[in-house]
Amino acid sequence: MEVYKKIEAKKAPSSSVGAIIWMRKNLFSSPLNTAMTLLAIAFLFWVIPPFIKWAITDANFKGTTKADCTGDGACWVFIKVKLQMFMYGFYPEVERWRVNLTYGLFLVVIVAFKYLKHSMTKIAIATVYFIIAFFLIHGGYFGLAEVDTNKWGGLMLTIVISAVGIIFSFPLGILFAFGRDSKLPIIKSISVTYIEFIRAVPLITILFLSAVILPLFFPEGISFNKLLRAMIGLVLFEAAYVSETIRGGLQAIPSGQHEAADAIGLSYWQKMLLIILPQALKVAIPNLVGVFISLFQNTTLVLIIGLFDLLAMVQLTTSDAHWLGFETEGYVFVTLVFWVFCYLMSKYSKSLENRFNTDLK
């Protein structure tokens, strides 16, 4: 009987690994790549050192007035003094603990999701959280003072609009994706007309329509505040893009999956919700997150209907007579905040892809 011995894997030769080898293969593999690499290095040396000098070396971090900002560096004192407005807008200072409590509960929910296994339990907890968050931020119930939405602003308003847009545009987009692929002519026509109309109109126009024209469709005596109208417009706009993204995922599913579901006697909705949709969502995760990141960035457009999100608050505070000339610091701060949120959403997208990756490797 022949006996096979296990052969240990050998390490790659030192001549084929290491930083120098990697640079030679990826950065200097050809004359064109070498030229592009040198050009990129020159550009970084041209941009990064002056920025570091302005933002850190020569910057002013201490103080409470404009007089404390001396030299040619950045005045981060402006950000420190106006930070509360950037975070909460005109939300009453004595009530801001409610916003902070909402953020804290959100972190608790995120941690709880890591240990919960059942999807329905997660959905129930998320629903309860958003109800509690509404009561906390808006008030008017359980002894909490009501805070009018006209006083909401800053990063808080950006997060609220983004969260509402993502939560409601996602299921609405799924319905329109199913409607566009439906074999019923009326449903298909309505879905196609809606999607193509929305995608052909800029978001600014939708926001104007929701702010000015939408109230005309409701009976006399019923009025929506500007924030609710903006949310409706944003949800309707993003739902069209979500539906097309999900439809792309639906088309990527092999026809054999449909045939197998039909063969075991599943109804249309059982087939779509239990078999087809989960696979389509897995395929569409990267594009869906791209749509949601775009939604988060598009919240800055609510300024045109009189809502002061984070960017709008920065623009408002830079017009303060005591802090003129610090627009650059404000825009750098906004850029950093948006980058952090978009980066976290992108990383979460990658974790979801890895979690639901069922492909054999």
Residues 267 and 317 in one domain: yes
Helix (H, G, I), strand (E, B) or coil at 74: coil
Residues 117 and 242 in one domain: no
40 located within any domain: no
Residues 82 and 112 in one domain: no
Residues 108 and 195 in one domain: no
> How many folded domains does the chain comprise?
2
The reply to whether the predicted model has a pTM over 0.75 is yes
Q: How many alpha carbons fall within 13 Å on the CB side of residue 30?
A: 3
308 located within any domain: yes
Digitized pLDDT (tens) for each residue of the chain, 361 residues in all: 555 566 666 665 555 556 777 777 777 878 888 888 889 989 988 888 888 888 888 888 888 888 878 877 888 888 888 899 899 989 999 989 999 999 999 889 888 887 877 778 888 888 899 899 989 998 888 888 888 888 898 999 999 999 999 999 999 999 999 998 888 889 999 999 999 999 998 988 888 888 777 777 777 766 678 888 888 889 999 999 999 999 888 888 888 888 888 888 888 888 888 888 888 888 888 888 889 999 999 888 888 888 888 888 888 888 877 787 788 888 999 999 999 999 998 888 888 777 777 664 4
Residues 129 and 249 in one domain: no
Write the DSSP string, 277-309.
HHHHHHHHHHHHHHHHHHHHHHGGGGGGGT--B
Which CATH number belongs to the domain containing residue 198 in this structure?
A: 1.10.3720.10
Helix (H, G, I), strand (E, B) or coil at 11: coil
Residues 116 and 265 in one domain: no
Residues 122 and 251 in one domain: no
Spatial contact of 195 and 240, defined as CB atoms under 8 Å apart: yes
Residues 159 and 191 in one domain: yes
325 located within any domain: yes
Residues 134 and 195 in one domain: no
Q: How many alpha carbons fall within 13 Å on the CB side of residue 266?
A: 17
Write the DSSP string, 93-107.
GGGHHHHHHHHHHHH
Indicate the DSSP class of residue 75: B
For residue 119, with 0-12 CB atoms within 10 Å meaning exposed, 13-18 middle and 19 or more buried, which class applies? Answer: exposed
Residues 113 and 233 in one domain: no
Q: How far apart are CA 285 and CA 56, in angstroms?
A: 38
Q: How far apart are CA 187 and CA 99, in angstroms?
A: 42
Q: Each residue of 210-259: pLDDT tens digit?
A: 877 777 777 776 667 888 888 888 999 999 999 999 988 888 888 888 88
10 located within any domain: no
Q: How far apart are CA 156 and CA 340, in angstroms?
A: 15
Spatial contact of 215 and 224, defined as CB atoms under 8 Å apart: yes
The one-letter amino acid code at 202 reads P
Domain that holds residue 347: 76-91+147-354
Spatial contact of 329 and 75, defined as CB atoms under 8 Å apart: yes
